[in-house]
């Protein structure tokens, strides 16, 4: 059983958060059991009317007036400036995302896609916008199969026009501003255009990501021209300008998204995706995108995935993302294990906690891999039903790991005490990149937004004259069915959106915003987001500590990624003794880059981000306390 109701958890967390950030004692609740009584947020501070404050790069900040958390200081500052000038969370989310397109061009930008989960304070409703890239109309389930009937070589497809999906990000920005924002696209993209024109200071993460991609970037002369200096990464500390990207933003700002979906910017994208320019003596496959594909593209409003955990309402992204479904399934399984064992997630030791988390993640991935994709009839209600989780939880043994891969279950609406499943599937390949931002405003609106160009550096193809990279999102499709004779919902198809793991999430408490959270990291996004939620709600960690906690990512593959603190320590040894096959998290040896914002009510927020992963994130509030 859970140790806390939603209400008491939020109270105890508030006290902990206050101590962590050093709030004066007078602001703490006077008596145990009382609701926190905070003075209303100050309405006339520095920076309220057009004079935003320049804020430092820190992983946690508490205060009022709104908050932004992203991986990058310049981008978070852009969002804070928008909020300071009276913009709302949707305005800040779009402006911050556009700035990330400049400073994190290998993870996000005009050439990619993403998903927004939004709490609208006026209607008190959570909704979502699906800005996922689509496949060209000519795609079939055999597009990634070669003449010999074999799946094409993954990296050959990545670095080609064939991997490029119809970009969804500009359409999502325009729709988010239209539906929830107060700014025009013209105004929201101005700071990003300025950042691209004036430049930003190169940090280690940007230099490392450029260096890791230098070889494949050098195949594409336009990419080498924009992102490399003498075929190498720009030096840490140097100023990086991208006048071509400034031009792209100016084009979108002044001409609107029709410049991309029906105009010259679109023609430049189509021409480059169909016949990418490469250095003499090299060639890559061309893609199939047409202007008709661009004209047909729509960012879509969709109802969120809704589940409940420990009394909180959890809202996530629906299909074509598997994120909302899988996060809900993991949290449901953690609850089911508590019921089976009679011991709560908060009471077990670190090894048992990670064991439970690993079993829950692997089980959720078994079901996600079999049932979720951009196809009709995904059993969403069943996959997120606690009764299904209870049936699946019968596999759980507190003393040993289930052999991987765990077979998928039958989310058919009729559940027995135990139905272990029979068919086990291998893990589909998914890379790790992307970026996540969260934004809130003084009116109580909340944005949780994950955006990507898929692999770090996307397809490697830059649109000539416009300075942004095209995505390789279509490699998120399975190239061939995962298992012979088992239907695969994630094969390519005409106009289809590849399955995603992006998991922008918003938790409400008694109908009011409580927590916004998300992460990059391909399929590890699902485990990073779940682990941050569990760390905060169950493991007695402050928000920034829940984000910093070492991560484990079990996705039903033959091994589970574990960060060095786990892998090289006693917890790793104990998990191994239970049958977990741990492996390094890869290069860099870390998992995810979470950002989050906790809303306390009464206009008080705590923004939090990574302390060290990806060089540390940037958490900001308009009026720090
Ligand atoms: N393409 C991935 C997804 O949609 C995100 C990119 C990544 O993080 O690797 O799940």
Please return the burial class of 126, using the count of CB atoms within 10 Å of its CB with bins 0-12, 13-18 and 19+: buried
The minimum-distance atom of ligand 1 relative to the CA of 499 is 4
Please tell me the distance between residue 98's alpha carbon and the centre of ligand 1 in angstroms: 18
For residue 8, the model assigns a pLDDT of 33
For residue 415, the model assigns a pLDDT of 87
- Cβ(347)–Cβ(375) under 8 Å? no
The CA-based angle 518-520-525, given to 5 degrees, is 70
The minimum-distance atom of ligand 1 relative to the CA of 455 is 9
Residue 542 inside a domain? The answer is: yes
Q: Of 106, 450, 473, which is best to mutate to test ligand 1, by the most ligand atoms within 8 angstroms of its C-beta?
A: 473
For residue 152, the model assigns a pLDDT of 97
Q: Is the CB of 438 under 6 A from ligand 1?
A: no
Residue 321 inside a domain? The answer is: no
Distance separating alpha carbons of residues 346 and 529, to the nearest angstrom? 17
Q: What is the pTM of this model?
A: 0.92
> Could you give the residue numbers annotated as active site?
434
Q: Is the CB of 505 under 6 A from ligand 1?
A: no
Q: 446: closest CA among 327, 329, 593, 600?
A: 600
Domain that holds residue 219: 42-303+429-624
Please tell me the distance between residue 52's alpha carbon and the centre of ligand 1 in angstroms: 33
Residue 422 inside a domain? The answer is: no
- Cβ(366)–Cβ(424) under 8 Å? yes
Q: Of 500, 553, 561, 613, which is best to mutate to test ligand 1, by the most ligand atoms within 8 angstroms of its C-beta?
A: 500
Model pLDDT for residues 261-319, shown as the tens digit of each residue = 999 999 999 999 999 999 999 999 999 999 999 999 999 999 999 999 999 999 999 99
Please tell me the distance between residue 394's alpha carbon and the centre of ligand 1 in angstroms: 31
Q: Is the CB of 476 under 6 A from ligand 1?
A: yes
Residue 549 inside a domain? The answer is: yes
Tell me what the mean pLDDT of segment 494-502 comes to: 98
Q: How many domains does the chain have?
A: 1
- For ligand 1, atom 8, name the residue with the nearest CA: 522
The minimum-distance atom of ligand 1 relative to the CA of 456 is 9
The minimum-distance atom of ligand 1 relative to the CA of 432 is 9
- For ligand 1, atom 6, name the residue with the nearest CA: 454
Residue 36 inside a domain? The answer is: no
Model pLDDT for residues 428-478, shown as the tens digit of each residue = 655 557 899 999 999 999 999 999 999 999 999 999 999 999 999 999 999
Q: Is the CB of 498 under 6 A from ligand 1?
A: no
Q: Is the CB of 520 under 6 A from ligand 1?
A: yes
Q: CATH number, domain at 227? A: 3.60.20.40
The CA-based angle 312-316-318, given to 5 degrees, is 140
Residue 337 inside a domain? The answer is: no
Strand intervals (E) in 71-177: 113-120, 125-131
Q: Is the CB of 434 under 6 A from ligand 1?
A: yes
Residue 433 inside a domain? The answer is: yes
Model pLDDT for residues 139-168, shown as the tens digit of each residue = 999 999 999 999 999 999 999 999 999 999
Residue 440 inside a domain? The answer is: yes
- For ligand 1, atom 2, name the residue with the nearest CA: 522
């Amino acid at each position: 059983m859970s140790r806390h109701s939603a209400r008491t958890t939020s109270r105890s967390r508030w006290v902990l958060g206050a101590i962590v950030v050093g709030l004066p004692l007078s602001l703490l609740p006077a008596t145990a059991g009382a609701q926190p009584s905070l003075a209303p947020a100050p309405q006339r501070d520095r920076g309220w009317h057009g004079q935003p404050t320049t804020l430092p790069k820190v992983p946690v900040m508490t205060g009022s007036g709104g908050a932004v958390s992203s991986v990058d200081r310049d981008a978070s500052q852009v969002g804070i400036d928008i909020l300071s000038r009276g913009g709302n969370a949707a305005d800040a989310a779009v402006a911050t995302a556009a700035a990330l397109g400049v400073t994190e061009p290998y993870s996000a930008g005009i050439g990619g896609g993403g998903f927004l989960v939004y709490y609208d304070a006026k209607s008190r409703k959570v909704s979502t916008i699906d800005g996922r890239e689509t496949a060209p109309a000519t795609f079939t389930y055999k597009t990634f199969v070669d003449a010999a009937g074999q799946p094409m070589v993954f990296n050959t497809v990545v670095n080609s026009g064939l991997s490029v999906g119809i970009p969804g990000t500009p359409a999502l920005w325009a729709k988010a501003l239209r539906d929830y924002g107060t700014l025009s696209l013209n105004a929201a993209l101005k700071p990003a255009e300025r950042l691209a024109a004036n430049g930003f200071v190169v940090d280690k993460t940007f230099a490392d990501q450029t260096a890791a991609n230098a070889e494949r970037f050098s195949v594409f002369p336009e990419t080498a021209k924009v992102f490399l200096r003498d075929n190498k990464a720009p030096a840490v500390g140097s100023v990086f300008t991208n006048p071509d990207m400034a031009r792209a933003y100016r084009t979108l700002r002044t001409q609107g998204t029709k410049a991309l979906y029906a105009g010259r910017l679109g023609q430049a994208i189509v021409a480059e995706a169909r016949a990418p320019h490469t250095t003499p003596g090299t060639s890559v496959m061309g893609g199939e995108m047409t202007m008709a594909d661009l004209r047909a593209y729509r960012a879509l409003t969709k109802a969120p995935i809704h589940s409940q955990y420990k009394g909180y309402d959890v809202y996530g992204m629906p299909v074509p993302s598997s994120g909302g479904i899988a996060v809900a399934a993991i949290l449901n399984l953690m609850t089911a294990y508590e019921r089976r064992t009679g011991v709560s997630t908060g009471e077990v030791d670190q090894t048992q906690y990670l064991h439970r988390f690993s079993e829950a993640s692997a089980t959720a991935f078994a079901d996600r891999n079999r049932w979720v994709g951009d196809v009709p009839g995904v059993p969403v209600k069943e996959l997120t039903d606690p009764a299904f989780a209870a049936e699946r939880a019968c596999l759980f043994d507190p003393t040993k790991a289930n052999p991987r891969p765990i077979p998928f279950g039958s989310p058919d609406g009729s559940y027995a005490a135990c139905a272990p499943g029979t068919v086990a599937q291998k893990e589909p390949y998914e890379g790790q990149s992307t970026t996540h931002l969260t934004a809130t405003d003084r009116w109580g609106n909340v944005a949780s937004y994950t955006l990507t160009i898929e692999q770090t550096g996307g397809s490697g193809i830059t649109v000539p004259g416009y300075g942004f990279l095209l995505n390789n999102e279509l490699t998120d499709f399975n190239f061939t069915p995962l298992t012979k004779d088992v239907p695969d919902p994630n094969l390519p198809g005409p106009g289809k959106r590849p399955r995603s793991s992006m998991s922008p999430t918003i938790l409400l408490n008694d109908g009011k915003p409580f927590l916004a959270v998300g992460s990059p990291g391909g399929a590890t996004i699902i485990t990073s987001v779940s682990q941050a939620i569990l760390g905060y709600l169950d493991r007695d960690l402050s928000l920034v500590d829940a984000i910093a906690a070492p991560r484990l990512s079990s996705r039903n593959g033959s091994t589970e990624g574990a960060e060095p603190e786990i892998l090289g320590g006693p917890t790793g040894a104990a998990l191994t003794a239970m049958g977990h096959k741990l492996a390094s998290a890869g290069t860099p040896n870390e998992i995810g880059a979470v950002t989050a914002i906790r809303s306390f009510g009464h206009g008080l927020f705590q923004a939090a981000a990574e302390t060290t992963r990806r060089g540390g994130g940037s958490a900001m509030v308009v009026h720090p306390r």
